[in-house]
Every structure is written in C-alpha cells, then in structure tokens.
Amino acid sequence: EVQLVESGGGLAQPGGCLRLSCAASGFTFSTYSMNWVRQAPGQGLEWLSYIGSDNRRVYYADSVRGRFTISRDNAQNALYLQMNSLTVEDTAVYYCVRDENWQLIDWGQGTLVTVSS
Amino acid sequence: DIQMTQSPSSLSASVGDRVTITCQASQDISDYLNWYQQKPGKAPKLLIYGASNLETGVPSRFSGSGSGTDFTFTIRSLQPEDIGTYSCQQYGNLPLTFGGGTKVGI
C-alpha cells in the first residue's frame, strides 16, 4: 500500500521558514517523480513544485519560485520542501503527491502550515 | 499560465440523478486533463486521467469526455458517497493548474 506521510507543518511568523518532509513507502520511491500541492483554507488546489525521479528536473510555480526549494533523498525515501520568506498567503494544507505522467496518483494526508504573527 | 474555468461552483442533486460538471481551458490542452474527487477533510483522489480514462478501482458511474478546451465530467447516477468537491487539472503546460472546484451535495 502506498503511503505518503507529511510532517513539519505548524505555525511560522511572516518572513520565517519551515521545512516540510514527506516519508514515502509502499512503492519504489526512486522511480517516481513527486510534487507538492497546497490548498489554502476554503480554497482550491494549487500546484507548487515538481521534482523528477533522479533529481534532474525541478519546476516551480511562480508564486513560490525563489522562496521554496524542493528536494528528495532516494536513499531515505523522502521528499522535502524548504519554505523561506513565508507570508500569510502561504497558509495552507500542504500535500506530498506521487506523480505518474503528470497524473497526481497518490496524495498524503497533508500538513497544515499557518503563517501568522 | 493556462486558466481552468470550472462550472458550476456548487450543485445539489438527488440520489440517482445524473450530474454534469464542465471545465474550460484558456487554451488548447488536447486531452491532458485529469479529474479529482475530494471528500471533506480528506486529500484529493484521482478519478479520471487523460480526459476520459477511468482510474483503476473507480466506479464506472464516473466518466469524462472532451478535448481541446472543453471538458465534461459526469456522474451517471449520484450516490450518497459521492458527496464532495470535484476538480479538474490540466497538464498540457506547466504550471499545472486546477479548476476552482465544484462542490456536490445531496
């Protein structure tokens, strides 16, 4: 069974930083590309970032480029999102998502990030 | 960025009704469109990929159609467990973008 478990969410101050982690199991992590998608309270889904299976291809949404960094450790079956210069607009549930040909096929349960002073 | 316009934003129907949701892309995306279901408090779940392909394990009452800029998602006979929000997502170009969602109630 595929499992994606996010952690690292919580309360951050504007201008602060957080690092999200996603522990993957139940599939060969090193062969799948991964994404981060977020959902602000009461809002729709927003794709943030993609990383290829071998770390070579990385893409970002304009809203987070230059502030967020996606990375992965295939030896540890882990995906990360380093989030810097946080603003109140970054308040959302953040999902780790397994990708197959741009189908977002498996989602974690999400971790809530709240940015507030 | 490709804008995805989804309608309606919400609907209420009866058990057994046919439900139709539309999604319009701001430019041609061929059939690079997925549909997701999100139940309250849960993560989204992929239902339809490539505009019309049913994901494994998804009931056959769900279907999708369309290509280019206009797409349709249909629930043939609405069931109580289908309550939730349905969203389209295009992958014709980066960034991946989603429709605003349709909240389906009974």
- Interface residue of B5, B96, B98 to substitute, partner A, most A CBs within 10 Å: B96
Does A1 contact B at CB distance below 8 Å?
Answer: no
What's the whole-number average pLDDT of chain A?
Answer: 97
At B104 the pLDDT is 97
Give the CA distances from residue B102 to residues A105, B17, B30, B54, in Å, rounded to whole numbers and listed in that order.
20, 16, 22, 19
Three-state secondary structure call for residue A74 = coil
- Name residues 69-98 of chain A within 8 A of B (Cβ): 95
Q: One digit per residue, pLDDT tens: chain A, 117 residues?
A: 999 999 999 999 999 999 999 999 999 999 999 999 999 999 999 999 999 998 899 999 999 999 999 999 999 999 999 999 999 999 999 999 999 999 999 999 999 999 999
In this prediction, residue A54 carries a pLDDT of: 86
Question: B17 phi and psi, to 5 degrees?
Answer: -70, 155
**Structure tokens belonging to residue A109:** 């349960």
- Provide the pLDDT for residue A62: 97
B8-44 pLDDT, tens digit per residue, is: 999 999 999 999 999 999 999 999 999 999 999 999 9
Instruction: Output the average pLDDT for chain B.
Output: 97
**Residue B88, φ and ψ in degrees, nearest 5:** -95, 160
pLDDT score recorded for residue A55:
87
CA distance B94 to chain A (A): 8
Q: Could you say which residues from 72 to 101 on chain B have a Cβ atom under 8 Å away from some Cβ of chain A?
A: 87, 89, 91, 94-101
Instruction: Answer yes or no: is pLDDT of B49 > 90.
Output: yes
The alpha carbons of chain A give a radius of gyration, in whole angstroms, of 13
* pLDDT for the residue A85: 97
Q: If 0-12 CB within 10 Å is exposed, 13-18 middle and 19+ buried, where does residue A117 land?
A: exposed
Stretch 7-66 of chain B: residues touching chain A, C-beta under 8 Å: 32, 34, 36, 42-46, 49-50, 55
